[in-house]
Structure 1
Amino acid sequence: MRAALLPILLAATASNASAQTKPDISLDTLKTVTQTLSSDAYEGRAPATPAEDKTVAYLIERFKAAGLKPANNGSWVQDVPLVEILATDVSPMTIAGGKAPVTLAYRQDMVIATYRVVPKIEVKDSPVVFVGYGINAPERGWNDYAGVDVKGKTVVILINDPDWQMPGKDGLFEGRAMTYYGRWTYKYEEAARQGAAAAIIVHDTEPAAYGWGVVQSSWTGPQLELDEKGDHLNESAAIGWVQLAKAQEIFAGAGKDFTALAAAAKQKGFKAVPLGVTASVSFANTIRRQASKNVIGILPGTTAPDDVVMYSAHWDHLGRCDAVNGDDICNGALDNASGTAALIALAEAHQKAGAAKRSLVFLAVTAEESGLLGSKYYAEHPVFPLARTVGGVNMDGVNIIGRTKDFVVVGAGKSELEDMIVPHVKAQGRVLVNEPTPERGYYFRSDHFSFAKLGVPMFYGESGEDLVEGGTAAGHAAAEDYVTNRYHKPQDEYADSWKWDGAIEDLTLFYGLGRELADGDRWPNWYKTAEFRAIRDASRAKLK
């Protein structure tokens, strides 16, 4: 939804009766499921480990108790073929050919991995090229790879978009709001398309939206990828991150000014710069193939059961991770035991209200932390046709700091679901506000994006930062404290001090939106300017 429309839409009368519905959302379910899944007994819920078996069994038990039916042709699960790659014997990365050699230590200075399913990776004496933000966007007249051949070379890439420091959304890449071009996933995808042997992103905390500790915990240990034909040999041999200070050292050794080149990379027409140095790194891979599982339950519809309204949340987290103060379990309490608990609580609430016209499906996906793999696999191999999936709600963490006066649509300006949420928000006496940190690109970082790329509108929203008790200052401080001190760290643990009233208020919105979709006949689409509109139109046209 465009920001300029918010005051107008919020002034509209909340006439829809479902906006006033008060669902029976169980506080006990929210607490119990979150505490259980994030306990040390579940070892951080890493996919394709013994902890997965325990997690999936618990989810099936709770889905049954909630009154759901198995949704995948009589089964509660959908197998998701994964391959686990564990880098071992990782050499330091060495940069040669400059004023002095530069050595980057694994974990401390850089992290390195591969998508390729091969026993050994070796990048030797690969010429290093700085490609700015690593973007090739012809529709925006931008190509950081223009005029340079990077086949077999190592590309160094800046994180985020060129205009991420620009206030508002008027820049070529939507200003402060990150586009998909700013995501690390896109940068590796484009580097592979260009034939790069290695792709290394420079870590900078503000544009990345998280500190080095998050990169370190996420990019070391076993890495997961979908197990597909071809073993991902079309990908770059090595992908990774480098600390900002080390990147500056590499550039200085090559006789280049990192700060000046980074500034130049923000300007249209930037040309990639060969640094005149080479990179070398090697590591072995321990490979293990194993199917993980999405868990799927359904409340069948009455008169239009083939039409599906979807709720989703990811059940996985990082499992065992780099220890902090002796604790090596990344429990993932908020991320995303709490969202999984919300999925079950909403299933209970809908079941208590009785069957809707359309079917309600509750999807707990695996391997979100490894690149949205579980939702990607479901979207590409749907149990229910995407053309008959009306839309839905994705949940990745709930509000545990208290009620807020505001509510945020993440990635606003994309689908008509945003219009539908307005009367529900207004019924609570709250206001819609713009994302406080659009540069963090949250829209591209959770499972709704897998559906969006294939045309299905999925709503993703959350409480704002204006706390009823404490105001914006307290809300912002709490949000930043989580990102800095708990996100993807062992400190993301359940606490009895959590306040759940804000979560229940948000889940009331999600219930109301889902129920309106399930009891109605509307097919919300993307706005005409959204990049996913044509995909949805083509998908729906096949049914007409």
Structure 2
Amino acid sequence: MHRRFISGVAAAALLFAAGAASAQDFSAQRLSDDIRAISADDFQGRYPGTDGEKKTLDWLQAQYEAMGLEPGGPNGQWLQVIDLKRFTPVADAAKASWTGADGQTHVLTPGTDIILRAATNDGKATIAGAGVVFVGHGIFAPERGWDDYGDLDVAGKIVLVVSGEPDGDLFNGPYATNYQSGAYKADEAKRRGALGVITVSKTSATDAAWTRTAQGNSRTRTLTPGAADLEFSGAINADTAKTLGLDMAELTPRLGTGDFRAFALPGVTLSVETAETIDTLRTHNLLARIPGAKRPHETVIYSAHWDHVGINEHAAGDDKVFNGAWDNASGTIGVLEMARQLKGAPAPDRTIVFAHMAAEEMGLLGAYAYAADPVYPLETTVADINIDMLPLSGPTRDVPIFGKGQNSLEDDLQALAEKEGRYVSDDGQPEQGFYYRSDHFPFARAGVPALMPWHGVDWVEGGREAGLAAWKAKFGADYHKPTDEWSADWDLRSAVENLTLLYRLGLQLANSDEWPTWKPTSEFGQVRAASDAARK
């Protein structure tokens, strides 16, 4: 955090503003009451496109109108319409073959040798005789000095790629980077002009993992808004790869050295054809705002997803409603309460937006839709502060965050936490991949510095051993289960602590002319750097 020295009238004004800002009063009782309201059975588990969605968004809009906030959506509306395209394979439409240097054509059997999907654009793919290249992990990471593509031109070709990323500290050790994701690999291939991406499995055609993947390929997929608009995607097993000239047992050790460079498969071309039916699910993000008094075009966003997984008539037992009180009625109400407190502070210099995202449980789709078609330009969005599942415990010393080491927001949060005798830590669970599982991530992927706090386990009363055991027990008992219901016994003291810190952080950002930055080793710095001129 940059510090600047001020004096005289300016100093007095800042002290007055700081005093007013510190007067916030997050109410555990109000949090509890409002969480109870939107996680009741009659909200039907808040599934997108249902009456439960309408009831939820109507309730939120009424709260914001009562506070006196402005609509924050497109054209002065409360809602941002999100149309999600859902793709289902047409039976027996998939066809594939390859031709070698000898000119002989070999048919590939869909579901056995190859898996194909056209779950993008118009749901149709017809590609004849495209060249094939192997790009290893398919990673270009200049901040790490890593380039699998090298000088190979893949425009108009089909890219073969392996999943994941190299092991070791260069790629964050036990914590995965964005480079491991299929979405990144597709983005990079598309940016270089590829027609499609095929993931090369290291398993054989008879391996159970491959057969399970093939059997699940007929499921309906919902397109992630803003995803790479490739003609098709797919997968092949290690046996098919070998027939094309790729020996994965021999190649795999080379892929993690940093010396690998992509290469074309000599004389090999691939032809594919497949088709999907398309239907649309309409849902909505809800946005409210407090306009900035001095720099209204610069925006700080607080976000949380309003949705959960709805009603499952096939669920075991009598309770079929997945109420989602913790996940994420709690975060939804956290953002609502944040708006209530910030409305009571002096008008901020920058605009503050309160964004309730749709379809997070379907793959962060509302947040991806916002990032693909933002109401407020991403170039001048200062930060996203995301709230997902408020902590349910007594006071904690730690303030864990997802993605520690990514950007300067954690340093700002650390400075605020230290004043309360607390400290910022990582989430402590690299195996969970939490950084990629909530609505901050589409913002980060688009280059906007984003912060996602999590549950502290270093309890003031009982220490880390007691806190971690309690968190694991709660998560195991209720996460994505009908038992995730409101309880009058919830301890929301830690929630109030964290919301207070996030309030101070947001207000600090909203009244500054500084811009949070990505750290030198972050994969998102290069994305943000492309729009540096907009923040001069």
Normalising by structure 2, we get a TM-score of 0.72
Q: CA 1:174–1:191 in 2, change beyond 3 Å: closer, same or farther?
A: same
Q: Deviation string for 1:243-268 (max 9, x for gaps)?
A: xxxx6898899999977765543332
- Are the counterparts in 2 of residues 19 and 424 from structure 1 also a CA contact under 8 Å? no
Cα distance change of structure 1 residues 536 and 26 upon mapping to structure 2, 3 Å threshold = farther
Determine which of 374, 386, 389 is the counterpart of 1:397: 389
Q: Is the CA contact (8 Å cut-off) linking 1:415 and 1:457 kept in structure 2? A: yes
Residue number in structure 1 paired with 2:101: none
Please name the residue that 1:60 is paired with.
61
8 A contact 2:285–2:357 mirrored in 1: yes
SS of the residue corresponding to residue 463 of structure 1 reads coil
C-alpha separation between the residues in 1 aligned to 2:161 and 2:477? Answer: 28
Quote the residue 1:423 is aligned against. 415
- Report what 1:208 is aligned to: none
TM-score, L = length of structure 1: 0.71
Query: Higher mean Cα deviation, 458-467 or 146-155?
Result: 146-155
| Residue of structure 2 aligned with 1:534, choices 524, 529, 532 | 529
2:161 is the alignment partner of 1:162 = no
Q: Which amino acid aligns with 1:176?
A: P
Name the SS for the 1:364 alignment partner. strand
Amino acid of the residue matched to residue 181 of structure 1?
Y
Deviation, structure 1 residue 506: 0.9
Partners in 2 of 1:397 and 1:218 — Cα distance? 32
In structure 2, C-alpha distance between the alignment counterparts of 1:102 and 1:470, rounded to whole Å? 59
**Offset at residue 480 of structure 1 (A):** 5.4
2:163–2:200 CA contact under 8 A, matched in 1: yes
Letter in structure 1 aligned against 2:222: Q
SS of the residue corresponding to residue 82 of structure 1 reads: strand
Counterpart of 1:534, as a letter, is: A
CA RMSD of aligned residues (A): 5.1
2: distance between equivalents of 1:217 and 1:76? 40
Question: Any idea what SS the aligned residue of 1:399 has?
Answer: coil
Match of 2:307 among 302, 312, 316: 316
Q: Distance in 2 between matches of 1:217 and 1:499?
A: 41
Question: 1:201 Cα shift?
Answer: 7.8
Percent identity of equivalent pairs: 31
Counterpart position of 1:8 = none
1:399 CA displacement: 1.4
Q: CA deviation at 1:344?
A: 0.6
1:127 and 1:447 mapped to 2: Cα distance?
A: 37
SS of aligned partner of 2:46: coil
Alignment of 1:354-373 (within 5 A): 355-373=347-365
The one-letter code of the counterpart of 1:432 is V
Is there any run of 5+ residues in structure 1 with no aligned partner, and where? 2-14, 205-212
Larger RCO: Structure 1 or Structure 2 (Cα < 8 Å, ≥ 6 residues apart)? 1
Q: Alpha-carbon deviation of 1:485?
A: 6.9
> Is 2:446–2:528's contact at 8 Å kept on the other side of the alignment?
no
Equivalent pair of 1:128/1:279 in contact (CA under 8 Å)? no
Give 1:62 deviation, angstroms.
2.3
Counterpart in 2 of 1:467?
Answer: 459
> Aligned AA for 2:504?
G
Worse-matched range after superposition: 321-330 or 22-31: 321-330
Match of 1:175 in 2: 173
CA spacing shift, 1:479–1:218, aligned 2, 3 Å: farther
Quick check: 2:183–2:228 contact (8 Å CA) kept in 1? no
State which drifts further: 321-330 or 32-41: 321-330
Q: What are the equivalent positions in structure 2 for 1:482-497 lying under 5 Å apart?
A: 489-491=480-482, 493-496=484-487
| CA positional deviation for 1:428 | 2.4
Summarize the Cα distance change of 1:52–1:445 in structure 2 as closer, same or farther, 3 Å threshold: same
Partner of 1:525: 516
For 2:280, what is the secondary structure of its paired residue?
strand
Q: What does residue 296 of structure 1 align with?
A: 287
C-alpha spacing 1:378/1:119, structure 2 compared with 1 (3 Å)? closer
CA distance in 2 between counterparts of 1:162 and 1:322 reads: 42
Say if 2:120 is the partner of 1:116.
yes
Aligned to 2:505: 513
The reply on whether 1:188 has 2:186 as its aligned counterpart is yes
Residue 135 of structure 1 corresponds to which residue in structure 2? 139
* 1:235 counterpart residue number: 230
CA contact (8 A) 1:93 1:104 kept: no
Deviations 1:398-457 (A, max 9, x none): 212543221124323344333322232123221222342356554444333444455543
Flag structure 2 segments of 5+ consecutive residues without an equivalent.
2-14, 99-107, 204-211
How far is the alpha carbon of 1:515 from its aligned partner? 2.3
Contact 1:42 1:51 (C-alpha < 8 Å) held by counterparts: yes
Question: Aligned to 2:278, what secondary structure does the other structure show?
Answer: strand
CA distance in 1, matches of 2:400, 2:478: 22
Pick closer, same or farther for the CA change 1:85–1:260 going to 2, 3 Å. Answer: same
- Do the aligned residues in 2 keep the contact of 1:307 with 1:359 (CA within 8 Å)? yes
1:269 aligns with 2:259: yes
Take 1:454 and 1:233, find their aligned partners in 2: how far apart are those partners?
Answer: 13
Q: What SS does the corresponding residue of 2:353 show, helix, strand or coil?
A: strand
2:408 is equivalent to residue 408 of structure 1: no
Does 2:329 correspond to 1:325? no
State whether residues 224 and 368 of structure 2, in contact with CA within 8 Å, keep that contact through their aligned partners in structure 1.
no
Query: C-alpha displacement at 1:374, in angstroms?
Result: 3.2
Are the equivalent residues in 2 in contact too, given 1:178–1:440 (CA < 8 A)? no
| Deviation of 1:513 (Å) | 1.1
Residue 510 (structure 1) shift? 0.5
In structure 2, the residue corresponding to 1:24 is in which secondary structure? coil
